[in-house]
Amino acid sequence: MDSIKVFSPGSITNLSCGYDILGLCLNNQGDEIKVSKKSSQGVIIKSIQGYSLTKDIDKNVAGIAAQELLKNIDINFGFEIEINKGIRPGSGIGSSAASSAGTVFAINQLLESPFNHLDLIKFSMEGEKFVSDSYHADNVAPIILGGITLVRSLNKIDVIKLPTPKDLEVIIVRPDIEIKTSDSRKVVKKMIPIEKVVQQSANLSSFVSSLYLEDYDLMSKSVVDVIVEEDRKEMIPEFDNIKEISLKCGAIAVGISGSGPSIFSLSNDNNVSNKILDSIINHYNEQDIDSNGFISKINSNGIKILESR
Ligand code: HSE
């Protein structure tokens, strides 16, 4: 195989109760990434479409992740990368993770898979470190593994794939602003009172139970953030009103998607999901705030190969 094109989906992380450890893979939003072998060593980014981003391999997450992979294998050829970005950078649905994970996944395929999924998560995380100043795998893990994932450890990477309740879907609305992950992480408090840690631990563990039990009432009580949301929501226009509107429409839970500004709602009924989407967009329209949104099922497969030759 000399060339491969993949669809690398977006993701929602944190899911309110699992800062930096929970994530889920989206179905219908993502980047298309084509990687081809080239005779000279190293990587180049040949083109980027969709959004204006640097092609400098030391400053673009795809180049950074690809170079990390190449440090771990001895080969006498290289790769050129073409990226068609479907996810707007700074939207809170894993734009950088989609590019870095999709690129290392594609290169691994061209090399006939010398690396396993956990290796690919590790390489992709170098891109996350570059854009956010800290290592976290909550975006790249669900993109590579599919479904809903929990990152148990980063020192020696360990990720648990959790069950996906069959009717679960997500509604994402992004107000038309960009928030850099590094800025959004600066508002997260470094010290948390023990009472809040206890409550968040209870929320996280009961959320995991709710997935195994397909118990949407328990999920509703569990997808609650007592640590990060209070500070981050200040950056997101109308967050409290949107939350109220979505819950009134029947959402199971509402929270900030990743580092924002996108807001996610959970639902187990497509009619309710459409009502939530319309109501949130209408509310933003009434406030003269541009926004866009979509509904997605949980993608249990992760990155998809579109073509290879
Ligand atoms: N868990 C990360 C955060 C996701 O909330 O900052 C953003 O990449």
- Indicate if 128 belongs to the active site: yes
- Do 237 and 263 belong together in one domain? yes
- Do 293 and 303 belong together in one domain? no
DSSP, collapsed to helix, strand or coil, labels residue 2 as: coil
**Which domain does 261 fall in, by range?**
169-297
- Do 208 and 63 belong together in one domain? no
Q: What is the 3-state secondary structure (H, E, C) of 229-245?
A: HHHHHHHCCCHHHHHHH
- Do 182 and 257 belong together in one domain? yes
CATH code for the domain in which residue 288 is found: 3.30.70.890
Cα–Cα separations (whole angstroms), residue 119 to 211, 259, 283: 27, 25, 43
Q: In whole angstroms, what is the distance from residue 210 CA to residue 230 CA?
A: 24
- Do 179 and 155 belong together in one domain? no
- Do 180 and 150 belong together in one domain? no
User: For the chain, how many structural domains are there in total?
Assistant: 2
- Do 79 and 209 belong together in one domain? no
DSSP for 175-218, please give it: ES----HHHHHHTS-S---HHHHHHHHHHHHHHHHHHHHT-HHH
- Indicate if 80 belongs to the active site: no
Q: In whole angstroms, what is the distance from residue 162 CA to residue 149 CA?
A: 6
Report CA 188 to chain centroid distance, whole Å. Answer: 18
| Ligand 1 binding pocket includes 20 (Cβ within 6 Å) | yes
Q: In whole angstroms, what is the distance from residue 94 CA to residue 168 CA?
A: 20
- pLDDT at residue 282 is higher than 90: yes
- The tens digit of pLDDT for each residue in 88-134 reads 999 999 999 999 999 999 999 999 999 999 999 999 999 999 999 89
- Do 260 and 209 belong together in one domain? yes
CATH code for the domain in which residue 144 is found: 3.30.230.10
Q: Contact, 110 vs 37, CB < 8 A?
A: yes
- Do 128 and 194 belong together in one domain? no
- Do 207 and 256 belong together in one domain? yes
CA of 75 from ligand 1 middle (Å) equals 34
Name 305's bridge partners: 6
Residue whose C-alpha is closest to residue 28's, from 247, 273, 289, 254: 273
Taking residues 7-28, what's their average pLDDT?
Answer: 97
Among the listed residues 128, 169, 229, 238, the single catalytic one is 128
- Do 151 and 15 belong together in one domain? yes
Q: Contact, 26 vs 93, CB < 8 A?
A: yes
| Ligand 1 binding pocket includes 265 (Cβ within 6 Å) | no
| Ligand 1 binding pocket includes 95 (Cβ within 6 Å) | no
- pLDDT at residue 20 is higher than 90: yes
- pLDDT at residue 61 is higher than 90: yes
Q: What is the residue whose two structure tokens read 């459409």?
A: 274
DSSP, collapsed to helix, strand or coil, labels residue 254 as: strand
- pLDDT at residue 287 is higher than 90: yes
- Do 31 and 151 belong together in one domain? yes
Taking residues 260-269, what's their average pLDDT?
Answer: 98
CA of 41 from ligand 1 middle (Å) equals 33
- pLDDT at residue 28 is higher than 90: no
Q: In whole angstroms, what is the distance from residue 18 CA to residue 291 CA?
A: 26
